[in-house]
Structure 1
Amino acid sequence: MPSPDSSALAEASPRRILGLAIPALGVLAAEPLYLLLDAAVVGRLGALPLAGLAVGGLVLAQVSTQLTFLSYGTTARAARLHGAGRDDDAVGEGVSATWLAFGLGALIIAVMQLLCVPILALIGGGGDITAEAVRWFRVAVLGVPFILVSMAGNGWMRGLQDTVRPLRYVVFGLGLSAVLCPLLVHGLLGFPYLGLVGSAVANVIGQTVAGALFVVALVRSGVPLRPSWPVMRAQLSLGRDLVLRSLAFQACFLSAAAVASRFGAASVAANQVVLHLWNLVSLTLDSLAIAAQTLVGAALGRADVPGATRLGWRLTVWSTVFALVLALLLAAGGPILPGLFTTDSSVVEQMQSIWWIFVAIIPLAGVVFALDGVLLGAGDAPFLRTATLACALVGFLPSIWLALAFDWGLRGIWFGLGIFVALRMAAVIGRFVSGRWAIAGADIQRTAG
């Protein structure tokens, strides 16, 4: 009989890791790709509807992405139960998370219908842009419960080490939206002409279908569909830590955008383009982090602490090597890639001024994302919350505002991001080496970082 360690390492084979990571990457990338199509369709209506979509979409994204604990937190809890051989209980985590998704989604609809006008006016500056954004948002926000249900569905299925079904459901829903969007926005093939509102309607329909597929999967699983209040309380406790961690990220990047705007239009444009590339790198590394989360959570659930530790090291090496390859490719493209995004020489110059900082951060991020996934799989959210807040307050935010005070430009901002990532790397490596994250068992509730 193979030892627990050899069993854990077998799970970290290239085929197994890629089998989890590639479908997870598809899920992560599907929505950004759809949003590009949505913007292209609405853009043909003119600048004003496109601006309304941008403002409304920004607010909707901020509202929904703060609740990613429904996916990442549920994955951590379900993975432990799966590792312990308690698959029905793992699916039960999905049931409770889905009830939470519907409840929180209904609350968000009610609150945002009341507050969307002042919020959108603050971001859009009032006037016609805000009016367009409000028209779009009042319809689009109706899909939030199903966005959250899809998050919960991704969570429990990943916990069961099934990343293929979530990809099918999400792609089917977004594919339906992609077909309906031009038909409803422009009134093609006999469909009603709805203009900008057609984009929102298409979004809601696709989100509803994807969410419904996850609900059907729960029904077919045969587990009781009653919510468990103790489970929901535990999920909300875990969610609190992950929401605070997410808010720290938002504060950092919003501050960076605000400071970049003080350096002129070329700096804003360059920062935005490189930030998009950073987000693309983050998506690819996050897919490996999801594999780490599911495999390590399962190992701890079956009380295999040595195996979980070995998995953590193996997956961190994988992620770091992959990040190094990405960094080398982007380094080689440094003289060419900035010019593919714009012909404005001032923007290209600004992009090239931060390009090598961006490239240097990527290998560090490979370590950070992998160990984030390991610690999330262990349910170590209180530590991740505290570490992220501390690194933001000590590293990123001071660097950003010093860049403004001393006129360091974009280099100062991206140097601050480098400090932030380096501090996070030191924090997660220290935590991993300490072994304090590796608590065995299927049912745990952490109370301290």
Structure 2
Amino acid sequence: MTRKKSTYSLTKDDIQATLVAMTLPMLVGMITLMTFSLVDTFFISMLGTVQLAAISFTFPVSFALISLSIGLSIGTSAVIAKALGAGRLDDARNDGQVALALSSALVAILAVLGFCFSAPLFSLLGADADTLVYIHQYMDIWFCGAVLLVLPMVGNAVLRAAGDTKTPSIIMVCSGLVNAVLDPILIFGLGPIPAMGMQGAAIATLASWVLGAVLILHLLIKRQLISTHWINAVELLTICRKILRIGLPAAGANMLTPLAMAILTAMMASYGAQAVAAFGVGARLESIACIVVLALSMTLPPFISQNYGAGIMQRVQQAYRLCGRFVLFWQFGIYLVLAVLAYPLARVFSDEPEVVRIVCLFIWLVPLGYGLQGITILTNSSFNALHKPGSALALSLVRLFIFYVPMAWLGGNLFGITGLFIGCVIANLCTAVLAWRWFNYAVTRTVSEVTA
């Protein structure tokens, strides 16, 4: 009996089979991690309303560092996968070493600034004196260990660039499990371990990062995916520029998503507190409904980058179109399930009739555009994989400022909440059409440049 592979030849193996085999482990890891994150929030909520508010205030700040880490991991994956596709193994190993060092240095600088200016920063966000006490208890520890957050993220990107998504998913599950197990013990105390409240939650998170960092560094060195020799200054700067050229625009594009959500939330606020509550429920459902698309957006880029490096652009186009068609059919199936279950789902989150009504309206309209939104997400990640970060960032800006916000605003002004939701769907349609045509044109142009 043959053992299942954990690493696939992204330039030779069957396209559909390879993408499926790479995506399934990532999907399992993301679902598990999302579940553990909810458990984390649940235990903190048991401490009280002020503590829950404190952890809510930390999200914008922590998300800024996480966005940078995600952007750097995207840049890392694109650079290393292209080198591997071109057969430049030593370059790929050097890229991996520099990526880990660069990401650690950048996150460390931001973490030090965050630690030093924590009080004015969170006061600016609206935290009062009582809430700041708990924010400090959590974030002072969080900032001190932030470097350990980025190491597993970038390290996992190195593994994915090499065609291995099974190992990253296992590391994600192990880290999340450690956090979930330690949370109640450190927050509420157990036996000789005292109750540490918010500090306990932060230490549990830090412990999960330590495990992830140790595992990933051990595996990368053992598999010789990163070099361990000294890299001269000239090569160091060259590699840094390659990674940052993709990583920084990717981080910026990633941060546009919460910005769009903040703007839409402000729009919903004009319809009352019930509308805001309902929109919050819809946003949570969206993150779950689109999880397959998010998993694909992490496995498609290394596939594209390796084939781009190998000069096999036909496989790039085939993979992109295959994933595009899949997400349209998949998300339409998800929409049908959500539409049928709209009322019971809404009742899970609220008993208030107006909130239930708006949640149902959201479910019956907005998920119609999830497949189209998936096309845009995949196109964004594919542009980064083709080393075209400017196109990825431009697409994100166009989606937000040309289509999404203006159409939602126009629909809301003309037809109220229903019109706002319809505007979101139309915006996703316009952006998806643009994204599809734009990427296919980019691939055709790249082919002509290579063959010229």
Normalising by structure 1, we get a TM-score of 0.89
Q: Do 1:135 and 1:197's aligned partners in 2 also have CA atoms closer than 8 Å?
A: yes
Q: For the structure 1 residues 146 and 48, does the alpha-carbon distance in structure 2 shift closer, same or farther, using more than 3 Å as the test? A: same
In the aligned structure 2, how far is the partner of 1:129 from the partner of 1:260? 26
Residue correspondence of structure 1 range 39-438 to structure 2 within 5 A: 39-222=41-224, 223-225=226-228, 226=230, 228-402=236-410, 406=413, 409-436=416-443
Q: Do 2:96 and 2:227's aligned partners in 1 also have CA atoms closer than 8 Å?
A: no
Shift of residue 20, structure 1, vs aligned partner = 0.7
Q: Which residue of 2 aligns with 1:28?
A: 30
Q: Do 1:94 and 1:155's aligned partners in 2 also have CA atoms closer than 8 Å?
A: no
Q: Any gaps of 5 or more consecutive residues in structure 1?
A: 1-6, 444-449
Q: Do 1:75 and 1:294's aligned partners in 2 also have CA atoms closer than 8 Å?
A: yes
Q: Do 1:87 and 1:160's aligned partners in 2 also have CA atoms closer than 8 Å?
A: no
Structure 1 residue identity aligned to 2:275: S
Q: Do 1:72 and 1:155's aligned partners in 2 also have CA atoms closer than 8 Å?
A: yes
In the aligned structure 2, how far is the partner of 1:410 from the partner of 1:91? 52
Q: Which range moved further: 148-157 or 225-234? A: 225-234
Q: Which residue of 2 aligns with 1:447?
A: none
Q: Do 1:56 and 1:134's aligned partners in 2 also have CA atoms closer than 8 Å?
A: no
Structure 2 residue identity aligned to 1:266: Q
In the aligned structure 2, how far is the partner of 1:387 from the partner of 1:44? 41
Q: Which range moved further: 144-153 or 218-227? A: 218-227
In the aligned structure 2, how far is the partner of 1:262 from the partner of 1:130? 29
Shift of residue 173, structure 1, vs aligned partner = 1.9
Q: Any gaps of 5 or more consecutive residues in structure 2?
A: 1-9
In the aligned structure 2, how far is the partner of 1:224 from the partner of 1:316? 36
Q: Do 1:169 and 1:210's aligned partners in 2 also have CA atoms closer than 8 Å?
A: yes
In the aligned structure 2, how far is the partner of 1:370 from the partner of 1:77? 18
In the aligned structure 2, how far is the partner of 1:220 from the partner of 1:437? 39
Shift of residue 86, structure 1, vs aligned partner = 3.1
Shift of residue 163, structure 1, vs aligned partner = 0.7
Which deviations, in whole Å up to 9, do the C-alpha atoms of 1:9-37 show, x marking residues without a partner?
85323x42221111222333343322211
Q: Do 1:255 and 1:400's aligned partners in 2 also have CA atoms closer than 8 Å?
A: no
In the aligned structure 2, how far is the partner of 1:8 from the partner of 1:314? 16
In the aligned structure 1, how far is the partner of 2:374 from the partner of 2:443? 22
Q: For the structure 1 residues 418 and 119, does the alpha-carbon distance in structure 2 shift closer, same or farther, using more than 3 Å as the test? A: farther
Which deviations, in whole Å up to 9, do the C-alpha atoms of 1:377-433 show, x marking residues without a partner?
2222211111211221112222344467x3854434433432432232122111123
Structure 1 residue identity aligned to 2:441: S
In the aligned structure 2, how far is the partner of 1:438 from the partner of 1:174? 43
In the aligned structure 1, how far is the partner of 2:60 from the partner of 2:381? 26
Q: Do 2:137 and 2:199's aligned partners in 1 also have CA atoms closer than 8 Å?
A: yes
In the aligned structure 2, how far is the partner of 1:128 from the partner of 1:80? 50
Which deviations, in whole Å up to 9, do the C-alpha atoms of 1:315-337 show, x marking residues without a partner?
22222222222122222223432
In the aligned structure 2, how far is the partner of 1:367 from the partner of 1:104? 31
Q: For the structure 1 residues 9 and 356, does the alpha-carbon distance in structure 2 shift closer, same or farther, using more than 3 Å as the test? A: farther
Q: Do 2:67 and 2:251's aligned partners in 1 also have CA atoms closer than 8 Å?
A: no
Q: Which residue of 1 aligns with 2:15?
A: 12
Q: For the structure 1 residues 414 and 144, does the alpha-carbon distance in structure 2 shift closer, same or farther, using more than 3 Å as the test? A: farther
Shift of residue 347, structure 1, vs aligned partner = 0.6
Structure 2 residue identity aligned to 1:411: T
Q: Do 2:72 and 2:251's aligned partners in 1 also have CA atoms closer than 8 Å?
A: no
Which deviations, in whole Å up to 9, do the C-alpha atoms of 1:93-132 show, x marking residues without a partner?
2211111121012101211012221222233431312321
Structure 2 residue identity aligned to 1:393: F
Q: Do 1:388 and 1:424's aligned partners in 2 also have CA atoms closer than 8 Å?
A: no
Q: Do 2:179 and 2:208's aligned partners in 1 also have CA atoms closer than 8 Å?
A: yes
In the aligned structure 1, how far is the partner of 2:68 from the partner of 2:260? 15
Q: Do 2:365 and 2:421's aligned partners in 1 also have CA atoms closer than 8 Å?
A: yes
Shift of residue 263, structure 1, vs aligned partner = 2.0
In the aligned structure 1, how far is the partner of 2:381 from the partner of 2:36? 26
Normalising by structure 2, we get a TM-score of 0.89
Identical-pair percentage: 20
Q: For the structure 1 residues 21 and 49, does the alpha-carbon distance in structure 2 shift closer, same or farther, using more than 3 Å as the test? A: same
Task: State the aligned residue count.
Answer: 433
Structure 2 residue identity aligned to 1:346: E
In the aligned structure 1, how far is the partner of 2:364 from the partner of 2:136? 40
In the aligned structure 2, how far is the partner of 1:20 from the partner of 1:379? 21
Structure 1 residue identity aligned to 2:391: F
In the aligned structure 1, how far is the partner of 2:330 from the partner of 2:94? 35
Shift of residue 369, structure 1, vs aligned partner = 3.1
